[in-house]
């Protein structure tokens, strides 16, 4: 289906074209299904190509090995990855770099960011079993003993942990949230168990910190931790919104292809009015979500306005992708409920993205609080 035109910056337009071609070639649905059976869950050769394209450093300043753009230019890449259900640690690596930029010391930025931009995968351990989407609610503890931190507690939804060369970890130190960065050696000390999650393209792990010790030098700037956590939450919401917009577009195309080829009682099922209206509703919701997405991308760094735009984008993108993927399953009839139908891949991705970093209701509530107090 022909999409409406959104005004892009020159950089966004270029990245959108490159990412669309790259993701279409590297992540056809047959490969997506094949990678479901792969323990790593993504193709390391494709990851290397992404690093060579400079995508891991899009929003990292040039002085730290990046391209020197912003998260607004990461959005079209994440959108196309979502459109093609591309797996891999791109989003967690991007967010880890943002955590270091927002909360690290100058020495940490100079030491870590060039490696991440060059292709070192990274992840984040910020979620906990209490299920609170407020990242400053941290119960996993760190106890300082001289130059060592003694850790305890659990983390959940840690993505692509076996591949990670760096891990951003949130901890409660003396009643306050702090961030630490672990290297490959410290990551190897963690007790990890792979979690069963709704989106089978993801590799998610629970991490047990009990009995683990790390150097106190692993701490990022303690005075910037709360600010950094809030930045990560909004950055994650923005990139999840991009993935969901891409997924919604692909879901609608998949559904349209079925409705315009499948016949019932001698007629194309797409000719039935009730199905036409529902597809139009899905398309309108998608276009609204994409408009909110690129508004949020453009205003992300604007104080107040950026947060409001991002929360609106996450809310409407969650609903648009959820509706489109649910209808895709319904329109495929009995086949839609089988594992062989690709609609279930999109529905699983929609559910995963919606409940990461807050669902639509959560973001609307925070938006209401910001607007009305």
Residues 168-225: tens digit of each pLDDT: 999 999 999 999 999 999 999 999 999 999 999 999 999 999 999 999 999 999 999 9
Least reliable range by pLDDT among 117-121, 146-150, 181-185, 332-336: 332-336
Cα 123–Cα 320–Cα 283 angle in degrees, nearest 5: 130
Q: What percent of the chain has pLDDT over 90?
A: 86
Q: What is the mean pLDDT of residues 226-236?
A: 98
Residue 302, Cβ neighbours under 10 Å: how many? 11
Q: Which CATH number fits domain 10-120: 3.30.200.20, 1.10.540.10, 2.60.40.60, 3.40.50.1400?
A: 1.10.540.10
Q: Which CATH superfamily is domain 123-225 in?
A: Butyryl-CoA Dehydrogenase, subunit A, domain 2 (2.40.110.10)
CATH number of the structural domain 226-372:
1.20.140.10
Least reliable range by pLDDT among 157-171, 202-216, 260-274, 353-367: 260-274
CATH 2.40.110.10 segments of the chain: 123-225
CATH 1.20.140.10 segments of the chain: 226-372
Task: With cut-offs at 50, 70 and 90, classify the pLDDT of residue 3.
Answer: low
| Separation between Cα atoms, residue 100 and residue 107, nearest integer Å | 10
Q: Which residues of 8-43 are buried (b: 16+ CB within 10 A; e: fewer)?
A: bbeebeebbeebbebbeebbeeebbbebeeeeebbb
């Amino acid at each position: 289906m022909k999409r409406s035109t959104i005004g892009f910056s020159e950089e966004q337009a270029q990245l959108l074209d490159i990412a669309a071609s790259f993701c279409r070639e590297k992540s056809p649905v047959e490969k997506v299904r094949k990678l479901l059976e792969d323990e790593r869950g993504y193709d390391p050769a494709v990851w290397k190509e992404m690093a060579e394209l400079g995508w891991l450093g899009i929003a990292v300043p040039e002085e730290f090995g990046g391209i020197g753009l912003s998260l607004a230019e990461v959005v079209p890449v994440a959108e196309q990855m979502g459109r093609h259900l591309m797996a891999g640690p791109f989003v967690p690596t991007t967010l880890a770099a943002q955590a270091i930029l927002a909360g690290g010391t100058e020495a940490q930025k100079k030491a870590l960011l060039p490696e991440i931009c060059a292709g070192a995968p990274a992840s984040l351990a910020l979620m906990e079993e209490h299920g609170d989407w407020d990242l400053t609610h941290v119960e996993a503890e760190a106890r300082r003993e001289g130059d060592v931190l003694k850790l305890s507690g659990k983390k959940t939804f840690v993505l692509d942990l076996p591949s990670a060369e760096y891990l951003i970890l949130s901890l409660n130190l003396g009643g306050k949230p702090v961030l630490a960065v672990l290297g490959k050696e410290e990551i190897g000390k963690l007790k990890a168990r792979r979690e069963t999650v709704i989106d089978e393209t993801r590799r998610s792990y629970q991490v047990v910190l009990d009995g683990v010790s790390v150097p106190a030098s692993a701490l990022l700037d303690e005075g910037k931790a709360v600010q950094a956590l809030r930045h990560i939450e909004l950055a994650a919401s923005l990139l999840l919104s991009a993935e969901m917009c891409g997924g919604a577009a692909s879901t609608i195309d998949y559904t349209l292809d079925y409705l315009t080829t499948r016949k019932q009682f001698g007629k194309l099922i797409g000719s039935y009015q009730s199905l036409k209206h529902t597809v139009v509703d899905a398309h309108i919701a998608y276009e609204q979500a994409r408009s909110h997405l690129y508004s949020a991308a453009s205003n992300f760094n604007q104080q107040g306005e950026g947060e409001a735009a991002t929360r609106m984008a996450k809310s409407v993108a969650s609903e648009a992708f959820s509706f489109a993927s649910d209808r895709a399953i319904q329109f495929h009839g009995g086949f839609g409920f089988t594992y062989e139908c690709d609609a279930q891949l999109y529905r699983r991705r929609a559910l995963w993205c919606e409940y990461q970093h807050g669902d639509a209701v959560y973001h609307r509530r925070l938006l209401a609080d910001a607007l009305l107090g």
